Structure 1
Amino acid sequence: MKKIATALSALVIALISTTLSAQDKYPLRPVTLIVPQAPGGANDAIARVLAQKLSDQTGQSFVVENRVGAGGNVGTALASKAKPDGYTLLVTADSAQVINPALYAKTGFDPVKDFEPVAPLAKAGYVLVANPSFAGNTMAEFISLAKMQPGKYAIASAGNGTLNHLIAEMLQKAADIKLQHIPYKGAAAAATDVVSGQVPLSVQSMPSSIAFIKSGKLKVLGVVNEKRVAALPDAPTIGETVKGFGATPWYGMFAPTGTPKALTQYLQNEIGKALDDPDVRARLATLGCEPFKGTSEQLAVIVKDDLVRWAKIVKESGAQVD
């Protein structure tokens, strides 16, 4: 019996050593970062900045794969069902992870049970923009025009149930105005049609609109965030006109439930190093974003708190997916 026990003990030690050795060498092959939003939006831009830096740091490719649909539910559900080996990860916006559960009867995933938080990544500025020909130049002027002709003005979003859509719904509720919602397949397509004058208004992330703003092809009526954003220091927040209005979107990385803690900790450490890199910080700033460095435990708390907070906001706003 003693010999058997000794043999079993040796086997267990060997298995543990093999597992740790495999994890120490991670990643051994390309890692897929599923982005459940379309190319051209904030989440896609942030994911690509981080993917390039993580590839440089680890010597292995981190590849962005856009899997869009149902306001982010399609890609998120796909990531939740991936093998928990660290080779398929989710890089997502708070809208898909903590707002969609309040908007959709069925999302195809549980934001808490189906994922291991890895780390927060960034925060992004969001703005209400208009075609330069739009009559209003400030939030007060815009609200006045919208009140005079309810339903006249169209507002483009990245799609039904996306953050752009929900923020527009929240704004209508808070400012007591009515707009015509025009959903697009992605933020880039929506921004392009506002630039061309097909639609007068849109809520856009800074990454998807900053180039148009800087070139004068879009004008900013108000900043969605609670505070003014560094990339547009002179642009007032919407909350400066509509008291109590404001939201600061965040982005984070998640792994399927069951992913070994050693792997998520490794990724958290690599992300922390990436966010400390001056070049990464500069690239995020150019996009109108800022690093959001933190731990997996902090991200877990943020998710749980925001699920409650956004459920209340969705209910109060009356927002619904078309």
Structure 2
Amino acid sequence: PGAGSTIGTQAVINSPADGYTLLLTSTANAINASFDRALPFDFAKSITPVAGIARIPLVLVINNDIPANNVAEFIAYAKAHPGKISVGSSGIGTSLHLSGELFKSMAGIEMVHVPYRGSAPGLTDLMSGQIQAMFDNVTSSFALAQAGKIRALGVTSRERSAVLPDVPPIGDTLAGYDTSSFYGVGAPHGTPQPIVDLLNREINAALDEPTIKQRIADLGAIALHGDAKQFGAMLAAETESWRKIVEGSGVHKEG
């Protein structure tokens, strides 16, 4: 952890390419490629893709006092109260923050961004009414929504989430809207292909292990199976997608 995953990524880049030091790649790596203009490395050239682990949809959740039961009603409410809605995230430049920025842009609304150090304090403030809305990973917010402590309006993925089956995609209201978080595994550039292939096989086998498979599903995540090339293609596509969102929002890391 630290510096939006930059510290850990740099440590792996500088490690021997022997398969014993690996990187838990995430959405942060795809975002930082364009968000952090001072990034001391080229992620795409410095890390060898190994395997995907899971994709995690995000969800737009609101305080129960907000008079909106779906995305369209929330947008209408926001337009009627410009700049009066505070939307939380787990930090500046995260997938949660930028998903909110994309939502604001596509919906044509104004909301005040409030960054937190992680989801937990943001969700606490959301329940108490200190903020009115939040974009969060379904893994950390679906239980609160199921318990009726907050209201889930829409998931950010194209498909519905298995843990929030009654919550439609935001894209049903804002055509083309589609974001999510992901995790995978990378290795230092130059890691021999036989080692990459071995790690890929073992990670895919682990994702099929019944206990792990069930745990991923219970969290509302979606397992990412496939070979190293497929994961590499996904990383490239995610990096390009987030680049467009970053450039569209005009938000970049300061300092």
TM-score relative to the length of structure 2 = 0.92
1:189-200 equivalences under 5 Å are: 189-200=121-132
Identity of aligned residues (%): 38
CA distance in 1, matches of 2:155, 2:239: 23
1:1-322 equivalences under 5 Å are: 67-69=1-3, 71-94=4-27, 96-321=28-253
Find the residue that maps to 2:22 and give its secondary structure.
Answer: strand
* C-alpha distance 283-218 of structure 1, shift in aligned 2 (>3 A): same
Q: By how many angstroms is 1:106 displaced?
A: 1.6
CA distance in 1, matches of 2:115, 2:62: 16
CA distance in 2, matches of 1:155, 1:140: 17
Deviations 1:242-286 (A, max 9, x none): 122122433211111133333322211111111112221211111
- Structure 2 letter corresponding to 1:256: P
CA distance in 2, matches of 1:232, 1:78: 37
Does the 8 Å contact 1:91/1:253 carry over to 2? yes
Q: CA RMSD in A?
A: 1.8
Q: By how many angstroms is 1:209 displaced?
A: 0.9
CA distance in 2, matches of 1:128, 1:279: 29
Q: By how many angstroms is 1:321 displaced?
A: 4.2
- Structure 2 letter corresponding to 1:236: P
Deviations 1:279-309 (A, max 9, x none): 2121111111111101111111222233333
How many residues align? The count is: 254
Which residues of structure 1 form unaligned runs of 5+?
A: 1-66
- Structure 1 letter corresponding to 2:242: W
Does the 8 Å contact 1:131/1:197 carry over to 2? yes
* C-alpha distance 285-304 of structure 1, shift in aligned 2 (>3 A): same
TM-score relative to the length of structure 1 = 0.74
CA distance in 2, matches of 1:203, 1:136: 16
CA distance in 2, matches of 1:186, 1:83: 32
Q: By how many angstroms is 1:183 displaced?
A: 0.7
- Structure 2 letter corresponding to 1:221: L
Bigger Rg over Cα: 1
Moved over 6 A (4+): none
Q: Which has the higher contact order (CA 8 A, sep 6+)?
A: 2
Which residues of structure 2 form unaligned runs of 5+?
A: none
